Chain A
């Protein structure tokens, strides 16, 4: 059996190269994300750091861990998805060979074993190339994280040797998982299928596909309905997931959706080539689904995530603008030695000292600790500067209030706060500021709670409201010695563009490599599909089509399938659009949807260009031989 696998492998390497490439990249991506995640989890702040430095390190570690675990999860998801669809397609392309094996006495379990043997070979080959590639990718990702300010200072990932072992497991495991379903289906092939020249299976929708597709569709629907009920943070977590579920659902249902849509798109092409392309598209359900599935996932994922991020960012900006009442902002990196409210011309001022903390909620089994921020505020002044935050009257010494970015905390709870090695003990939560889309501090605390030694190193921000008719320039000048002073408009712009930059960077790291990977999956499917059509192309040419006709027909098919897939991807993404609108409407009172047109246009452009080029190259390749040679050589 192994020998047959090996022979099949040598013979059909062009069909398998796609499978190897996907395994190899999947292994590299997963290994690299794993190594970086390990480094982030086990990293410690440099010795001799101050309390605030330790907390700042922990905070950026948390960001890095979050980003890296999402990258790892996404890599694993895409790897499973791309590898299994590539394998399934590879197996489907060989239906005739497998039927032949059954015809000469092969049993179902032998067909399964043959395919499993192949998968192990492919998995090992992919892994062997994938491991060194993963090492290279680690240093690339590490530089990317550092460059985008998403990793803690002094972040220095080393690859433990056992990770290589894990990669072998991942590679072979992914290949096996990928082939399992396909092998079960392939083993059911009837021996007679070997005698039918049109080997490809007609039925591409399986009960499993229907099941997963419908469950994922229901999931997307549920997320759309639940997002606005999830509050600021819950809604923001759920809205982007809707498009992930939507994309999975549509990718699973691709066999019933893609061909009809693509055929519809070909309706305006009424020439003979257009009709031929349309007939081919309707006939090759399986091939279309294999090309479209990774595209649907890619477009749905990228557009859905990017839209959610940019919409929430723009909603947060509007919300911040509406929720802040001030004329000037003073940012300072030193403790303020000045009572700003006493300055001539100032009506009120809220000075807020920003302290990174570790926050522990709950007790016993349910205890969770996370890093966050605490603002030391004057409750009355804070309520004036942030009129939408609500009343903080109950906030007195030795109590805290849940901040605008608090998670799962309400008045009546008790929290423990740690700053570096300083513990502030158990503190009752007595008030709760209104939750915001933009997030912010987890806790608000009155002066006197945080030791002055800690405050000495903390940054502060003061929102200043002027008296009517006060001289803006004069006040600014009076404050200038204590930090940088800017108008509220300027500060709003700066802080929201800073937020947007961070979220774009995060998106880039999480989705960039994954997107590249999914694109390779698409190229793969187009290439495998065209390579397997050499005989069909030869028949078409023998019927009177020129080589250029064949290439053009294949291109029409490929572009229409790509367009159908992009449309379905956008439909998947639109579930997030709805969820974002209803969530922002619920939280801020105004529904916001800001679509990242540059990303959408860029992605669609790349996808169409790539499938076009791949289709032309592969169909030209498949028609290089004279048709007679191909038609005669039927084994």
Chain B
């Protein structure tokens, strides 16, 4: 496909994406012909049964994994066949990640974790910048703590601060509340909502209808294909749709 995108409203555009794992009888079509646009300044949730290809789709969208075929655009730039160097540069400035298992560097304090992407990009963040990033996630007083001295919810908020500190165009989140209790999950979702309201684009994979209900719209996947797209649905409606798909 050589479609030139004129529509600049999309933060991420994916065209006819295919990704297959394994061969022969072990072949799995993780993503099977997905066309999708994730609009700028909006929070899109991706739901679907376990194994429906949500994570794979997210990884391809974020340039962490190559698709077998199809094209991926980040804003105006085609990242389908970007080199490792170009992808590294993307991760430093235009893309941020949050994962279920926090993935903080255990040997570094919260402050050091947050400033890590800037340092890797060769920038010297001021103390104030790092402090600001931490206080925006409500952890101004936990800067000197190491990850293991923080609760799960706090660790995830540090991870969000780290992902946002570079001012990325898109924040990718894979089950960000998957490992959290309801209260912690709530505060993380509140935090994400606040960043979207301030203009951030978020693409979030989740299993949790309550989490998806906080997003602006929800895409449903099954067997690697987009099967539905709901906007402004309630948690109950989302849950019902998911149960239907899982049946």
Residues of A whose CB lies within 8 Å of any CB of B are 4, 7-8, 10-12, 97, 100-108, 110, 190-192, 194-195, 197, 633-635
Interface string of B61-82 (1 = CB under 8 A from A): 0001100000000000000000
Chain B 51-97 interface residues, beta-carbon cutoff 8 Å to A? 59, 64-65, 84-85, 88, 91-92, 97
Cα A369 to Cα B148 in complex, Å, equals 68
Q: Which residues of the partner chain B approach A11 to less than 8 Å between Cβ atoms? A: 106-107
Cα A633 to Cα B166 in complex, Å, equals 28
29 interchain pairs, CB-CB under 8 A: A4-B108, A7-B107, A7-B108, A7-B112, A10-B107, A11-B106, A12-B107, A97-B105, A101-B116, A101-B120, A102-B88, A103-B64, A104-B117, A104-B162, A105-B88, A106-B88, A107-B85, A107-B120, A108-B88, A190-B64, A192-B64, A192-B65, A194-B103, A195-B103, A633-B148, A634-B101, A635-B102, A635-B147, A635-B148
Shortest C-beta distance, A122 to chain B (Å), equals 15
Verify if B121 is at the interface (C-beta below 8 Å from A): yes
Shortest C-beta distance, B169 to chain A (Å), equals 14
Cα A101 to Cα B104 in complex, Å, equals 9
Shortest C-beta distance, A96 to chain B (Å), equals 9
Q: Which of A7, A104, A190 contacts B91 (CB 8 A)?
A: A104
Q: Which residues of the partner chain B approach A633 to less than 8 Å between Cβ atoms? A: 148
Smallest CB-CB separation from A191: which chain B residue?
Answer: B64
Q: Which residues of the partner chain A approach B101 to less than 8 Å between Cβ atoms? A: 195, 197, 634
Shortest C-beta distance, A102 to chain B (Å), equals 7
Cα A197 to Cα B117 in complex, Å, equals 22
Cα A112 to Cα B54 in complex, Å, equals 32
Q: Which residues of the partner chain B approach A106 to less than 8 Å between Cβ atoms? A: 88, 120
Shortest C-beta distance, B184 to chain A (Å), equals 14
Cα A101 to Cα B92 in complex, Å, equals 11
> In the complex, are the beta carbons of B92 and A105 less than 8 A apart?
yes
Q: Which residues of the partner chain A approach B120 to less than 8 Å between Cβ atoms? A: 101, 104-107, 110
Known: A103-B103, A192-B64. A108 touches B148 (CB 8 A): no
Chain B 102-147 interface residues, beta-carbon cutoff 8 Å to A? 102-108, 112, 116-117, 119-121, 147
> In the complex, are the beta carbons of A104 and B64 less than 8 A apart?
no
Q: Which residues of the partner chain B approach A10 to less than 8 Å between Cβ atoms? A: 107
Q: Which residues of the partner chain A approach B148 to less than 8 Å between Cβ atoms? A: 633, 635
Cα A97 to Cα B84 in complex, Å, equals 18
Cα A134 to Cα B39 in complex, Å, equals 66
Shortest C-beta distance, B136 to chain A (Å), equals 18
Q: Which of B91, B107, B162, B166 contacts A191 (CB 8 A)?
A: B91
> In the complex, are the beta carbons of B85 and A104 less than 8 A apart?
no
Cα A7 to Cα B147 in complex, Å, equals 14
Q: Which residues of the partner chain B approach A197 to less than 8 Å between Cβ atoms? A: 101
> In the complex, are the beta carbons of A101 and B91 less than 8 A apart?
no
Smallest CB-CB separation from A110: which chain B residue?
Answer: B120
Greatest chain A CB density within 10 A among B85, B101, B105, B155 is at: B105
Cα A8 to Cα B120 in complex, Å, equals 15
Verify if B43 is at the interface (C-beta below 8 Å from A): no
Shortest C-beta distance, B111 to chain A (Å), equals 12
Interface string of B207-242 (1 = CB under 8 A from A): 000000000000000000000000000000000000
> In the complex, are the beta carbons of A8 and B103 less than 8 A apart?
no
Cα A110 to Cα B116 in complex, Å, equals 12
Cα A108 to Cα B84 in complex, Å, equals 8
Q: Which residues of the partner chain A approach B38 to less than 8 Å between Cβ atoms? A: none
Q: Which of B85, B92, B103, B166 contacts A100 (CB 8 A)?
A: B103
Smallest CB-CB separation from B91: which chain A residue?
Answer: A105
Q: Which residues of the partner chain A approach B85 to less than 8 Å between Cβ atoms? A: 107
Q: Which residues of the partner chain A approach B91 to less than 8 Å between Cβ atoms? A: 102-105, 191
Q: Which of A12, A105, A192, A195 contacts B117 (CB 8 A)?
A: A105
With A106-B120, A191-B91 given, can you name 20 additional A-B contacts, CB distance below 8 Å? A4-B116, A7-B112, A11-B106, A100-B103, A100-B105, A101-B105, A102-B91, A103-B91, A104-B97, A105-B88, A105-B91, A105-B92, A105-B166, A106-B88, A197-B101, A633-B148, A634-B101, A635-B103, A635-B147, A635-B148
Shortest C-beta distance, A184 to chain B (Å), equals 14
Q: Which residues of the partner chain A approach B117 to less than 8 Å between Cβ atoms? A: 104-105
> In the complex, are the beta carbons of B121 and A635 less than 8 A apart?
no
Known: A104-B120, A105-B91, A192-B59. A8 touches B107 (CB 8 A): yes
Smallest CB-CB separation from B88: which chain A residue?
Answer: A107
Q: Which residues of the partner chain A approach B108 to less than 8 Å between Cβ atoms? A: 4, 7
Q: Which residues of the partner chain A approach B92 to less than 8 Å between Cβ atoms? A: 105
Cα A101 to Cα B155 in complex, Å, equals 17
Shortest C-beta distance, B50 to chain A (Å), equals 16
6 smallest beta-carbon distances between A and B, as pairs:
A11-B107, A105-B92, A635-B106, A105-B91, A105-B120, A107-B88
Smallest CB-CB separation from B147: which chain A residue?
Answer: A635
Q: Which residues of the partner chain B approach A195 to less than 8 Å between Cβ atoms? A: 99, 101, 103, 174
Known: A194-B103, A633-B148, A634-B101. A104 touches B65 (CB 8 A): no
Cα A106 to Cα B105 in complex, Å, equals 13
Greatest chain A CB density within 10 A among B59, B64, B102 is at: B64
Cα A195 to Cα B101 in complex, Å, equals 8
Shortest C-beta distance, A274 to chain B (Å), equals 28
Cα A110 to Cα B89 in complex, Å, equals 13
Q: Which residues of the partner chain A approach B64 to less than 8 Å between Cβ atoms? A: 103, 190-192
Q: Which residues of the partner chain A approach B84 to less than 8 Å between Cβ atoms? A: 108
Shortest C-beta distance, B132 to chain A (Å), equals 19
Q: Which residues of the partner chain A approach B174 to less than 8 Å between Cβ atoms? A: 195
Q: Which residues of the partner chain B approach A12 to less than 8 Å between Cβ atoms? A: 107
Smallest CB-CB separation from B105: which chain A residue?
Answer: A100
Cα A101 to Cα B91 in complex, Å, equals 11
Q: Which residues of the partner chain A approach B104 to less than 8 Å between Cβ atoms? A: 635
Q: Which residues of the partner chain B approach A8 to less than 8 Å between Cβ atoms? A: 107
Cα A4 to Cα B108 in complex, Å, equals 8
Q: Which residues of the partner chain A approach B166 to less than 8 Å between Cβ atoms? A: 105
> In the complex, are the beta carbons of B107 and A105 less than 8 A apart?
no
Q: Which residues of the partner chain B approach A110 to less than 8 Å between Cβ atoms? A: 120
Cα A108 to Cα B155 in complex, Å, equals 26
Cα A197 to Cα B121 in complex, Å, equals 27
> In the complex, are the beta carbons of B103 and A105 less than 8 A apart?
no
Cα A104 to Cα B85 in complex, Å, equals 13
> In the complex, are the beta carbons of B116 and A104 less than 8 A apart?
yes
Q: Which residues of the partner chain A approach B103 to less than 8 Å between Cβ atoms? A: 100, 103, 194-195, 635
Cα A192 to Cα B155 in complex, Å, equals 20
Cα A195 to Cα B105 in complex, Å, equals 13
Q: Which residues of the partner chain B approach A635 to less than 8 Å between Cβ atoms? A: 102-106, 147-148, 155
Smallest CB-CB separation from B100: which chain A residue?
Answer: A195
Cα A634 to Cα B104 in complex, Å, equals 10
Cα A264 to Cα B65 in complex, Å, equals 37
Q: Which residues of the partner chain A approach B59 to less than 8 Å between Cβ atoms? A: 192
Cα A110 to Cα B148 in complex, Å, equals 26
Smallest CB-CB separation from A96: which chain B residue?
Answer: B103
Smallest CB-CB separation from A106: which chain B residue?
Answer: B120
Cα A101 to Cα B121 in complex, Å, equals 12
Shortest C-beta distance, B19 to chain A (Å), equals 13
Q: Which residues of the partner chain A approach B155 to less than 8 Å between Cβ atoms? A: 635
Smallest CB-CB separation from B85: which chain A residue?
Answer: A107
Cα A108 to Cα B174 in complex, Å, equals 24
Smallest CB-CB separation from B159: which chain A residue?
Answer: A104
Cα A538 to Cα B84 in complex, Å, equals 36
Smallest CB-CB separation from B97: which chain A residue?
Answer: A103
Cα A108 to Cα B103 in complex, Å, equals 19
Shortest C-beta distance, A604 to chain B (Å), equals 40
